[in-house]
Amino acid sequence: MLMSISPRQPHAAATTTTAAPKPNTAVASLRPPRKSFPTTGASYHRRTLTLRALALRPRERAVCKVRDRDAVGVEDRKVRSFPQEAIMQTRLFLGPVLVSTLAACSGPARVADTTTEFVGKWIYQSGSTILIDCPNTPEQSIDLSRVPPANQPAYFSLASSGVDTLHEIDARGCQYDWTVAGDVATAASGQSCATFPDGRGGNRVVQLQAGTKTTTDAASMVVDVHFASDAPEACSIHVRGQAAKSSL
């Protein structure tokens, strides 16, 4: 009997099943959680730009630094210039205010007194006269350096009544007001005197027509004054001559 022999089957390789190792939970707990990076959104773009900046070549990074520094410099100059502009604007605003405030506190500017050289007692010198010309009467002359009856020189006193005005009182008690401009004092017309000498030992009423008294050295004075007497005489009277300031 023939036996059929089946071909030899290869032995199945022994398979060994290895159990997966258990994770070491103690070690895993010490590791920080793995960070996942977003692939979209603003965070992704910032990360991308950062990586690109790191990838720049040194020359390109240097150029970027220069641009950043220049930009910061411009902003810094703007910040520094702001206080200066503010200070200038403040000065422009406060300047007129301070000037007006100081002017208000100090009051009006003081005007220089122009009467100083005229103030004092003035005595008529030789050659000074009063010429009296009345209708139908010979001209009469009175020597002001020797006035009768005492034959003493006539005089007048000037006192300051303002920064540019004077008040006069003469030896006969006549009073006049003068206005000073530079070296000349001028009398306004219309002022009168009732005790003006008539040349005969008496008085007559006169009206001042025009007059000047001039001094350039505060020591000597030129006098030139015109009067007119009241009616019925209607005389023309001219006072002229030179006076010297008394030291007394």
Helix, strand or coil, per DSSP, at residue 59: helix
For residues 166 and 176, the answer to whether their CB atoms sit within 8 Å is no
Peptide bond into 232 cis (omega under 30): yes
pLDDT in tens, the chain (248 residues): 444 445 555 444 444 555 555 555 554 555 555 656 556 666 655 666 555 655 555 555 555 554 555 554 555 555 455 456 655 665 555 555 555 555 555 556 666 889 999 999 999 999 999 999 999 989 999 999 998 888 899 999 999 999 999 999 999 999 999 999 999 999 999 999 999 988 888 899 999 999 999 999 999 999 999 999 988 888 999 999 999 999 87
For residues 205 and 227, the answer to whether their CB atoms sit within 8 Å is no
Rg of the chain over Cα atoms, rounded to whole angstroms, equals 60
| Alpha helices (H) along 107-222 | none
Can you give the pLDDT at residue 8?
A: 54
Token code pair at residue 35: 């960070």
CA nearest neighbour of 167 among 134, 205, 120: 120
Can you give the pLDDT at residue 12?
A: 46
With 0-12 / 13-18 / 19 or more C-beta atoms within 10 angstroms meaning exposed / middle / buried, residue 67 is: exposed
The answer for 107, left when phi > 0, alpha when psi is -120 to 50, beta otherwise, is left
CA distance linking residue 130 with residue 105, whole number of Å: 53
Can you give the pLDDT at residue 95?
A: 56
Q: List Cβ neighbours of 195 (8 Å cut-off, separation of 6 or more).
A: 172, 173, 174, 203
Give the C-alpha distances (Å, rounded to integers) separating 179 from 11, 76, 161.
154, 68, 10
CA distance linking residue 145 with residue 128, whole number of Å: 7
CA distance linking residue 52 with residue 66, whole number of Å: 18
Can you give the pLDDT at residue 13?
A: 46
CA distance linking residue 215 with residue 122, whole number of Å: 11
Can you give the pLDDT at residue 157?
A: 98
State whether the Cα torsion 42-48-54-59 is positive or negative: negative
CA distance linking residue 36 with residue 198, whole number of Å: 132
CA nearest neighbour of 147 among 175, 177, 119, 170: 170
Can you give the pLDDT at residue 110?
A: 65
